[in-house]
A and B are shown apart, each in its own frame.
Chain A
Amino acid sequence: MRNWITTLALLIAVLPVVHAETDAEKGLAIMTEADNRDKGWQDSSADMLMILRNRQGKESQREIRVKNLEVNGDGDKGLTVFNTPRDIKGTAFLTYSHSLVPDEQWLYLPAVKRVKRISSKNKSGPFMGSEFAFEDISSFEIPKYSYLFLRDEVLDGQACFVLEMQPQYKHSGYTKSTVWIDKQEYRIQRIDFYDRKNALLKIQRFADYNQYLGQYWRAHTMTMENQQNGKSTTLKWSNFVFRKGLTDKDFEKNDLKRQR
């Protein structure tokens, strides 16, 4: 009996090698590995400088402060506060993200001291007039997409897996995206987004990766280039702090009012 179990266990262990792993299984396995490597960071906060560039190259900036709380088995919680432009200083967003059911979102308007519950259906809409949609900056969860391994490819000198991802949540602005993940550290290097007509819409590039707590990689520069309207947005990240001891209590409606 014991032998039989050992044999079975061995069989299962070598099964992926023996039977030809499908591209879907391989895609999911790669993304699961990337996701697993990014588990356990608990909480983080960082400053974001958002640089919007129009087709003529004219720039405008927003300074944003972001806090996140890792939620096991569900989407993360996030708090976003604007420092500039000055007319919206103190405006704050609270998001409880979920994999497939709609996110919960609240918006705080400091001029009238009003906390408004807002609809989270607007996944494909632009975040603060930028080329990033709400869905581009929301928390990544495995069940949100289906995966397909496409090929191995060298991107900017790095050996990468190339996957195709299709959103499984409702109201996405994309039919699919193509994702480059480096084989060494499983970090996303580039995403090509395809619009609802399946035409290339945007290219997002990730650069200046730094590692935190000896494990967690964070890109400090993200650039989103819209291929259809010629506009682009760069996010410059700084002042990452992890495991500050933030809890659910720091991500409540009441906290929106005291953000700065």
Chain B
Amino acid sequence: MILNDKDKFSVIIRFVLAASLLMSPHLHAGEWSGYSAVEYRYFQHQSFFSEPDQHELSTILAPEYYHQWADGQQSIIIAPFLRIDSDDAERTHADLREARWLITDDDWELQIGVGKVFWGVTESQHLVDVINQTDLVENSDTEDKLGQPMINLSLFQDWGTVDLFILPYFRERTFAGKEGRLRSQLVVDTDKADYESAAKQHHVDVAIRWSHTLGDWDIGVSHFYGTNREPLLQLNQQGSRLIPFYEVMNQTGLDVQQTTESWLWKLELIRRETSSDTFTALTGGFEYTFYGVFDSDIDIGLIAEYLWDDRDNELATPFENDLLIGTRLAWNDEPSTELLLGVIQDLDSSDAAWNMEASRRVGDRWKLSVEGRFFSVDTPTNALFQVRDDDYVQLELARYF
């Protein structure tokens, strides 16, 4: 979807309407929090394409309203999100990250509305985590998610927690637009998204997950049946655009972490079946932490994860035989200074993707973050080949309220 100024305006209007609804007097009993931020990205190289430039400026507003009653047994959260981007009309977007009503009892919990759920244990990628759609325009690391309409019943038993999900509406993945960086050569036309199911976005997805802690082990087993969050990108008839095609999938997942002293051992394994493909993928590895190095308060963690995928089609995933090596530094100081450095190295070629994230609180309400992503990709069949010249450094200053 290429937003013109009118569309951009309507996104903002919808956000303002949602926000003013939240401000209405009967909601005064709850509490407000959230943040607003300014983000600047500097891209090291000029884009292959004429439209995007090397500077990108964004502002973000992410308020959150929370209200609880019945001694905390019931609560609502409403969390809209808005980004206005200087360049990419697709990155200018509003979303309802959360708008859910939660009812809890001793042995169960029911969540109705728009929510966000995380499954998994690994750091490099999240294979098992399939409930929420990725908000890819937010960040190419796929960590940002769109709100997912759901009914989620959790049952707490001595033998573990069982989560049941009914997901009545599908959210499409966001993609960078024509003026945006980190895009494919052909722009993805999200207005023309197509579906395997005749019900399209209204296909009712279901999921079940069992999770439990047994001593040092934290284990989760899940199954999902519904619309694949990852679309196939197909050429349109004119060969000028990419059209997302969403298949129906069955995915069974396992996630395990063993925690002993300084070691965290992690494994995520999935089996996914769609009408076009059936494959197995895994991420496995460890995080080892040296606490209080050299008599200081600094902790240094070493992360290693192996990423494997048995699909022959290299374009389907950049991580078919790759290794993540990373380090996490925590200063444990008053401003919570942190640094994460990592590289994912393709073991079949010299291709690699570097990543750096650092943050520090400034005063009580401000936070400064720096992020850098660098791609060293020469293999045209690597899924990251298209963004090989989109190396960037990002600065973000956020104010929390």
A198, CB-defined interface residue at 8 Å: no
- Cα of A159 to Cα of B69 in the assembled complex, Å: 48
A252–B108 alpha-carbon span in the complex (Å): 12
CB of B292 closer than 8 Å to a CB of A: yes
Which residues of chain A (201-260) have a CB below 8 Å from chain B?
247, 249, 252-254, 258, 260
Q: Which residues from chain B contact A117 at a C-beta distance below 8 Å?
A: 121, 213, 218, 257, 259, 264
State whether the Cβ of A2 lies closer than 8 Å to any Cβ in chain B: no
Number of interface residues of A (CB under 8 A): 36
Interface contact B292-A129, CB-CB below 8 Å: no
Q: A121-B261, A249-B156 are in contact. Are A54 and B292 (CB under 8 A)?
A: no
The yes or no answer to A156 lying at the interface (CB within 8 A) is no
B233 vs chain A, min Cβ distance (A): 26
Which of B289, B333, B400 has a CB less than 8 Å from the CB of A89? B400
**A114: which B residues are within 8 A, CB to CB?**
118
The minimal Cβ–Cβ distance linking A245 to chain B, given in whole angstroms, is 11
Interface segment, A7-15, A20-28, A80-88, A137-145?
Answer: A80-88
Stretch at the interface among B188-196, B202-210, B359-367, B381-389: B359-367
- A86 CA to B401 CA in the complex, in Å? 7
- Let me know if A124 and B291 touch, CB within 8 A: yes
B197 at the interface (CB under 8 A from A): no
Question: Which of A87, A249, A260 interacts with B361 by CB under 8 Å?
Answer: A87
Check A112 for interface membership: any CB of B closer than 8 A: yes
Q: Which of A84, A125, A249 contacts B364 (CB 8 A)?
A: A84
With a cutoff of 8 Å between Cβ atoms, the chain A residues found around residue B259 in the complex are 104, 117-119
A60 within 8 A of B: yes
Q: How far is the CB of B73 from chain A (nearest CB, A)?
A: 10
- Asked if residues A86 and B117 are in contact (CB atoms below 8 Å), the reply is no
Say if the beta carbon of B58 comes within 8 Å of chain A: no
In chain B, positions 58-99 with a C-beta closer than 8 Å to chain A are 66, 68, 72, 75
| B145-181 Cβ-contact flags toward A at 8 Å (1 or 0) | 0000000001010000100000000000000000000
A168 CB within 8 Å of chain B: no
Q: Which residue on chain B has the smallest CB distance to residue A255?
A: B104
For B121, the chain A residues whose CB sits under 8 A away are 116-117
Interface residues of A in 64-94 (CB under 8 A from B): 84-89
A113 within 8 A of B: yes
Q: Is B8 an interface residue (CB 8 A)?
A: no
Asked if B35 lies at the interface with its beta carbon under 8 angstroms from chain A, I say yes
The verdict on A87 contacting B118 (CB below 8 Å), with A117-B264, A124-B292, A126-B297 known, is no
- Give per-residue flags for A36-75: 1 if the beta carbon is below 8 A from chain B beta carbons, else 0: 0000000000000000101000001100000000000000
Return the contact of B334 from the options A60, A118, A119, A254 (Cβ within 8 A): A60
Interface flags, B379-401, vs A, CB<8A=1, else 0 = 00000000000000000001011
Q: Cα distance A252–B289 when bound, in Å? A: 25
Contact with A along B320-344 (1 / 0, CB 8 A): 0000000000001111100000000
A122, CB-defined interface residue at 8 Å = yes
Chain B residues contacting A115 (CB-CB under 8 Å) are 118
Contact surface of A with B, Cβ cutoff 8 Å: 52, 54, 60-61, 84-89, 102, 104, 112-119, 121-122, 124-126, 128-129, 171, 173, 247, 249, 252-254, 258, 260
Closest 6 CB pairs of A and B: A86-B400, A129-B334, A114-B118, A113-B118, A122-B291, A87-B367
A-B contact pairs, 17 of them (CB 8 A): A54-B334, A86-B35, A102-B261, A104-B213, A115-B118, A117-B264, A121-B289, A125-B299, A125-B332, A129-B332, A129-B334, A249-B106, A249-B156, A254-B154, A254-B161, A258-B102, A260-B66
